[in-house]
Amino acid sequence: MPKDLHHIVGGAHVPGTSGRFGDVYNPATGEVASRVPLASAEEVDRAVRTAAAAFPGWAATPAPKRAAVMFAMRELVAKNVDKLAELIGREHGKTLADARGSIQRGQDVIEFACGIPHLMKGELSPNVGGDIDVFSIREPLGVVGGITPFNFPIMIPLWMGAMAVACGNAFINKPSERDPSATLFLGDLWKEAGLPDGIWNVVNGDKEAVDALLHHPDVPAISFVGSTAVGEYVYRTGTSHSKRVQAFCGAKNHMIIMPDANMDQAADALMGAGYGSAGERCMAISVAVPVGEKAAEEIVSRLKPRVQALRIGPYNDPVADMGPLITSEAKRRVEGYIVNGVKEGAELLVDGRGASLQGYEKGFFLGGSLFDHVSTDMSIYRDEIFGPVLSVARARDFNDAVRMVNGHEYANGVAIFTQDGDAARAFANQVDVGMIGVNVPIPVPMAFHHFGGSKRSKFGDTQMHGPQSVQFFTKMKTVSARWPSGIRSGAQFTMPTNR
């Protein structure tokens, strides 16, 4: 009998009371590993009220003391990285090495949050006129929500939540119901780090829990990572209820290969960026764009044998390049795109369907697939497949490649491989994409910079982590002050100025 998981509310594990549960699978075996409770609106309300009661004390805690909790959390994550990776691999399917890497990127944001006393500093303008001093201060918002995806059950909650609580907010994490165990353990680590009860809460659920957060009057801000369809819904629903919302959504990331590129380096980059984590990354490269026929033939000749040699295996297989997909539904969806690609006229060079491992016959495994001669009207080019499928879409010249990138509705990340600095500079200036890599296939910025796309890859005005995360999770107050020694008699009926 699979065990039942819990929520975390007020620092304690609490069982679900809705009577609704979702199955959590081990993707390598296809077996149900546990059941996750799906919260009702009433359960979400209880979590919000608990967080709201804890918020004033945490908001009043001096920033250096909040930073001390961040330092403690950093050490705990480092100490427990193997256990966290094990929990991720068991429910998500990604390899342990890949899981550890994602945890490190989450830990980077904790390290950035350690600088919260500096990041929360306001501004001062002395004697702007009439002995008046003007200063600004940043204050936390209250109870904020984070709706996080299945593909990064530690990294994304830390990207959102570490900055939210460092700024003095209480945080409610609604993780993916597909792999919640790692996120729940993260909640335990926050308690051990010294975060007060009620400041970090984990409420499992589906659309009912999401809607409860979006409609709740005491949740002024929501951060989201997931698909574009859901992200747009979260953004429009949240903003219609007067919330600030940032929603980071779907992607179709291109990698341009110029004729002068180091083709072996480019092929290696495409392999890791296209097939790592079985393609279940919003920053995965899913379209290779070689410029010119010579570059196309060279890159395809290198890619095909590499894709054929990809090693799939369970998360704890030390030689596996990638693990299974998250669910059987995800596997069927990706297989459907492979079928459509063939129907639409693309050349299927490597077919990853039919992959099976001895002892793991019921696992959700797919091998890597590679298409050539993909055109921009095909579904495998237009849609985010979110699986181990790489499409080669050939460009006639540099301008054709730029038009291809800018013509797509998604604009999360893009990369160019070249040895020509002029081409790289022109590319960075001309493409309308949020994150650009020059000889870097997955250009996810470090924590002290900003993460986020443009066009239909993001809704909202602020980016993830970096200084803009402080802007998102705080509100500004501006104070104009003049003390008695500077007060002059007589009423003033005109607009005050500094003259």
Spatial distance between the Cα atoms of 12 and 50, rounded to a whole number of angstroms? 11
**Do residues 401 and 395 lie in contact, with contact meaning Cβ atoms separated by under 8 Å?**
yes
**Do residues 202 and 12 lie in contact, with contact meaning Cβ atoms separated by under 8 Å?**
no
Spatial distance between the Cα atoms of 298 and 292, rounded to a whole number of angstroms? 10
**Secondary structure element (H or E) that encloses residue 140, with its range:** strand 132-140
Q: Kindly name the residue from 114, 167, 249, 282 that is annotated as catalytic.
A: 282
Q: Which residue has the tokens 């001669």?
A: 373
User: Residue 134's beta-bridge partner residues?
Assistant: 125, 480
Spatial distance between the Cα atoms of 23 and 176, rounded to a whole number of angstroms? 12
Burial (CB < 10 A; 0-12, 13-18, 19+), residue 132, is middle
Any catalytic annotation for residue 114? no
Spatial distance between the Cα atoms of 218 and 342, rounded to a whole number of angstroms? 50
Q: Which residue has the tokens 């975390």?
A: 8
- Using CA atoms, how far residue 153 sits from 82, 93, 160, 228, 231, in Å, is 14, 12, 12, 19, 17
Percentage helix, strand, coil for the chain under 3-state DSSP, each rounded to 5 = 40, 20, 40
- Using CA atoms, how far residue 20 sits from 71, 181, 471, in Å, is 38, 17, 37
Spatial distance between the Cα atoms of 279 and 105, rounded to a whole number of angstroms? 18
Pairing of strands 413-417, 253-257: parallel
Q: Please give the positions annotated as active site.
A: 282
